[in-house]
Structure 1
Amino acid sequence: MNDSKERIAAELLAVRDRSLAYTEAEDDLLVRQHSPLMSPLVWDLAHVGNYEELWVLRAAAGIEPIRPEIDDIYDAFKHPRKDRPTLPLLSPVEARRYIEGVRGRVLDVLDAIDLEGADPLHRDGFVFGLVIQHEHQHDETMLATLQLSGQPGLVREGDLPQGRGGGPEEVYVPAGSFMMGTATLPWAYDNERPAHQVDLPAYWIDRLPVGNRAYAAFIEEGGYDDPRWWSAEGWQWRQRSGVTAPLFWARDGDGWWRRRFGRTEPVPMDEPVQHVSWYEADAYARWAGKRLPTEAEWEKACGWDPRARRARRYPWGEEAPDPTRANLGHRAARPAPLGAYPAGASAYGAEQMVGDVWEWTGSWFQPYPGFRAFPYKEYSEVFFGQEYRVLRGGSWAADPAAVRTTFRNWDYPIRRQIFTGFRCARSELV
């Protein structure tokens, strides 16, 4: 294999090791549904193999189907998550055997394929990047399911840097245009394309994500009980749901505790807040006299280099993420303390924009001008509109292979089980 193929093979191995590690539990844990918001873990396990078969073996290599009879079962668009336990799912043993068989054939295809050919699925290993990122995204979903299950055993503490106090609360982003999206990153998804010029007025954006201490102050000052801080839809959701704090938080006397992978512990006040919905993030921002950044504001503050007049792949530049710059890849099962990564700052001085928590933005998930669906419209196109809010940046559970300044995530504004937080912005005062 050449260097590119060896790198792809290593990524395939790494993501599969991760998937198997998250599904080592007893079969009962894997086949049960822990929340109607999430699939049984065994569904995710077989689904990543079926997706890999569909795109690498069938679409890219033209190989006959291995198990066509299960395509319908593992089609994410045909069966809502709440209904998947009723399907005739493969058992954990069958699922592991199936994905192992698919992977063996995929490695044979990788060995033979021309990564410099004209086929856009082949070029630069795009189809392999597609399945690698897809599996990492499902691995993060599995972690969210395991957190909901309350099962212990996945609390990795890791060696995260210490936080640091001081420094400005906000950073300033001057008015001007920048290039949003990408035309060059080979594994970028269709919704990140094409690169296009966006002109923005000046604004301020928080240097760091909103922390637990600041969010606790919002709660203590009655933020959940004051409709002034909530949008009309958000207030309806707040009354309907009865939420009074981030998911997994509970008050104990004068303090706050949280449940993290089966462990109950005091809420660390110096970490970014996580497990909050878009409605909660929006309400906090209003209470703080600010707002959520638009998606364009977030991307400019994160990835634009105003001196070089070009976009960076990561906030700090082109070098791959490492433990001195960002908290990614489940090194520890929690966000790092605020201010832990000065070396990961963007050109404008914003920190922790990659890793730790997905960050809600104020934008709906919409196509960029000139968008073209590839390789299938169900990846992005069917979700465009005013139903899903955009999240950016990746969380501590996201893998570096699926993180970059242009990467777009999206979800319903009510979602809290995912590893979500936020930072605030405000327009320049005239």
Structure 2
Amino acid sequence: MDHFQYKHGVYHAEDMPLDTLATLVETPFYCYSAATLRHHAQVFMRGIAGLNHRVPPKICFAVKANPNPHVLHVLKEQGLGADVVSEGEIRLALAAGIAAQDIVFSGVGKKRQEMRFALQCGVFQFNVESAQELHVLHEEAQGLGVLAPIALRVNPNVDAVTHEKITTGRKDSKFGIDIEQAPEIYALAQTMPHIKVQGISVHIGSQLTQLEPFARAFARVRDFVQEMRAQGVPIDVVDLGGGLGIPYHPEHAALPEPDGYGAMICDAMQGLEAHYVFEPGRLIAGNAGVLVASVIYTKEAHDAQTDVTHRFMIIDAGMNDLMRPAMYGAHHELVPVSEAQHHAAHVSQHVVGPVCESSDVFLRHHPLPLLQEDDLVVIRSAGAYGASMSSTYNARLQIPEVLVDGTRMTIIRPRETYEEMLDKYQ
């Protein structure tokens, strides 16, 4: 459920009409719904309530999905922490008011400086992904005279059945430690005086649309934890990562919900006592944001050989603003801001951006109403991996981000100016 819908003939974010917002901010821009962020956080918390053993589960939002500190602050107020993969993300989480003890530091390539900063801050846990990383972390902790709390991110060799670019749990993945090698690395860690072994971590992929891969991976982790505990390895924290998918298309309405996800975990873990940690990102923020754009031009090209007319809608948002369609072939639903246009006759069209790349395409052969210059459109499900993956390719300016809360709106990242762009090169 989200808080983007038609009201009084105009698409709204909560109680804010997007045509009014477009007049104030100018397109293109990202718009997030605070109510949707809160709702998704609460639904996820209820879904995993059955895993509340000695301590409640720790939910650490994957900052890479949406690193804006204002978004992070909304989630912090719901009790969420942060899953981070860089010093920059740690700093953004701290700026949002998230306590260091609610931050999990993941990532396959942590640099020494980043480790030192995280140790000085006192993060909850380092998810270690190689023996070399473990050695470096111990050296840095020793230099500071502190203990580094760690979990090993194990790779259970489970196919996540998702896009190849976002699957992370197979043997050929760059992420994690082969679960068969993990016992010797746990043994090594226990010999290091400045390492505190406390947990295990697993994350098999993103945008999973079925529960079965999770169940297989988690069952393997359960058995492994029991084996390690029997050998004296003090695994208390079980970090099950994230990855549950969201509906990007109306046909995806039957995707698993957090309550089913939670029930699956309870079944897979079979009562394994632990302090559970979760790292949802897309599930929380994906459908809590949209990208608002304007039509610049339309044009047609007729293919005489196939007798097909190709109609193009060129909008002012490009692949530099929303990379997912070009990078993953991802589908994002597009609707006009005007409800009357939404109900008009639809014809097959290509929706493209202004970037000088043939891959700058949002939709191909998609039925849409015939729109004109300056008509407004909304690209849905853009709250995760949208702004965070954006760039200034073609010397295009970083676009604004807006947070709507009821009838109030706040520009939480202003549009970059050309002066600011040029200043980067001074």
Shorter-chain TM-score bucket reads: under 0.3
Name the larger-Rg structure.
2
TM-score by length of 2: 0.23
